[in-house]
Structure 1
């Protein structure tokens, strides 16, 4: 359903699915009063608890990733630079956006005001885009190292640093436009967190063109990169495994990498797929009625990526697991086994299939 905009105080800062029996939404501004007309208090409090969990767990696991990398020299490899880059972006989103969002859910409206709304959406967008592009850079790096499309090209630390810088440039290209007039950041879903305006047709802000830009540049391009690079990686490994059917280590590496690729691609789609689909539906069906509580689902899936993305990469990286266990005072894994799955893949790639 389509709402009118606040006539006096914040004329361009929100869109509201107001109750159908009212002609005046002044008293329903998401910056002024609780949005109890959208959902019951229990729903808001449940979301507050979930966002608090995401903020705390995300801060812990990403902070631990950064701390371990700084403390242990063996983690300071070029691939891990990209993982740390993703962790730093996740920390930004967890601290600046998600923790205050939990606070707003407790009060059931954007109690921190329209300026924080923009900061929230900007930080969340930066965190999400850096993570997304980092996944693409990791896939590209694996393709270069394992499949060797450029021959004996050596992926060095300066290349990893350039890849990290690229992720931030792409993230800023995605997050900055709504701050300067191309689209806008407004409250979404239960009106306690903020995001780009998927809801309104507004010639002043050109929302439709911005959404299509996000879909093409910030989803289709990195996703295509991930699918292409990992599909090439799997094809090469399967060929190597077929050529070395008697090698147990090759067969094991092929199975491990297949599992890793499936998990990473599925996690990517789980994180960004629903949000992209919802945004495209909303932009293509202006005025169609929908329950705004459903908009919360794709939003929280994308935000929870700050927790499960680093967990996935730690699970598939024995070096990180070993160092984290040491840092937490737990028994560490044997040093001889402290090599990541990606390193095992590299070893397999040294034997070219016939």
Structure 2
């Protein structure tokens, strides 16, 4: 399968108002949407992209400059910033340019690039948060005794995050499912809309390994961690004092995870809906909201990190 060719299933290229004339999102805008809608999306994507690139660059620079920030938990946060930076640098920039025109004028190769990049780096971000949750569980609950997490452990965890994410996001570029245009025609994503077995089997596998699994790691880790912190908060004296910095870092990580899930959950829910009901009729503007909203997640994490991390001040 040539991933740089248009999808063979032409039914995906029909606008909701078209009955017999195929709509090609690589050649012209969707006629049912007024130009100002695309201009508004372009302005929003420009703002999100500029904020994300500048904020995440700052986190990476500050962590590199100040030695006291070079700790295992901060390595994972920097990895999250790198993933967010790359989401904005690729997906955000392409989305801004295509919305300026109102259609995906950059061609099929850019569609595959955006679909792959946003999916890949987005999953790296989610698995980075799962790794943060697991790191907090190890540090606070100490299931391995007094073992201290070091830089080499963080490096191994990050290597797993990148390799595992790549394994499950590269298949659509090689024939198992595909990356294709969204309903609005100015963004690209995994092919949620096809009812074929090829696409369904990939989507089910993808959701299991790249959304449900990291989410379970987060929930289990924090379920155990919260019980431990409640016990610690009930004690007095030196134990409570020594754990206070760890509790502050844990609170910061919890807020980062909540912000990420709030941004990505609508898109995940929408994707499940259209995968289960591929014939569902949705206004393209309504269908585009979850995807664009998910990209704002790249803006929040640096703000949370800077304002809640006492080491930065």
TM score, norm. by length of structure 2 = 0.91
After TM superposition, list the pairs within 5 Å mapping 1:15-26 onto structure 2: 15-25=12-22
Distance change in 2, residues 1:231/1:253 (3 Å) = farther
Corresponding residue for residue 189 of structure 2: 195
Match of 2:178 among 181, 184, 205: 184
Residue 200 (structure 2) aligned to one of 203, 208, 218: 208
Matched residue of 2:13: which SS? coil
Q: Deviations over 1:249-296 (max 9, x none)?
A: 589779857854653343232122111111111111121222222221
How many residue pairs align between the two structures?
Answer: 308
**Which one is further off, 55-64 or 234-243?**
234-243
The aligned counterpart of 2:8 is 12
Question: Residue 136 of structure 2 contacts residue 250 of structure 2 at CA under 8 Å; is this kept in 1?
Answer: no
Q: For residues 37-52 of structure 1, what are the structure 2 equivalents within 5 Å?
A: 37=32, 39-52=33-46
Alignment partner of 1:300 is 2:295: no
5+ residue gaps, structure 1, are: 1-8, 323-354
Alignment of structure 1 residues 271-282 onto 2, 5 Å: 271-282=263-274
The 1-side partners of 2:62 and 2:116 are apart by 28
1:32 lines up with 2:9 in the alignment: no
1:234 aligned onto 2:216: no
Residues 265 and 67 (structure 1 numbering): CA distance in 2 closer, same or farther, change over 3 Å?
closer
> Whole-Å Cα distance in 2 between the matches of residues 304 and 74 of structure 1?
29
Choose between structure 1 and 2 for higher RCO, CA contacts under 8 A separated by at least 6 residues. Answer: 2
Q: Match of 1:105? A: 99
- Say if 2:232 and 2:240, in contact at 8 Å, map to a contact too: no
**Displacement of 1:314:** 2.6
Unmatched segments (≥5 aa) in structure 2: none
| Greater Cα radius of gyration, structure 1 or 2 | 1
SS in 2 for 1:23: coil
Structure-2 residue corresponding to 1:330: none
- C-alpha separation in 2, matches of 1:239 and 1:56: 43
Contact (CA 8 Å) 1:129, 1:174: kept in 2 or not? Answer: no
Shift of the 246–84 alpha-carbon distance from structure 1 to 2, 3 Å rule, reads closer
Q: Please report the TM-score for the alignment, with normalisation by the length of structure 1.
A: 0.81
The residue correspondences of 1:1-354 to structure 2 (distance < 5 A) are: 10-12=6-8, 15-25=12-22, 28-37=23-32, 39-203=33-197, 206-244=198-236, 260=252, 263-320=255-312, 322=313
Q: 1:72 to 1:132 in 2, by over 3 A?
A: same
Q: CA RMSD for the aligned pairs?
A: 2.4
Residues 308-317 or 61-70, more deviating? 308-317
In 2, the alpha carbon distance for the partners of 1:271 and 1:119 equals: 22
Q: Is the partner of 2:180 in helix, strand or coil? A: strand
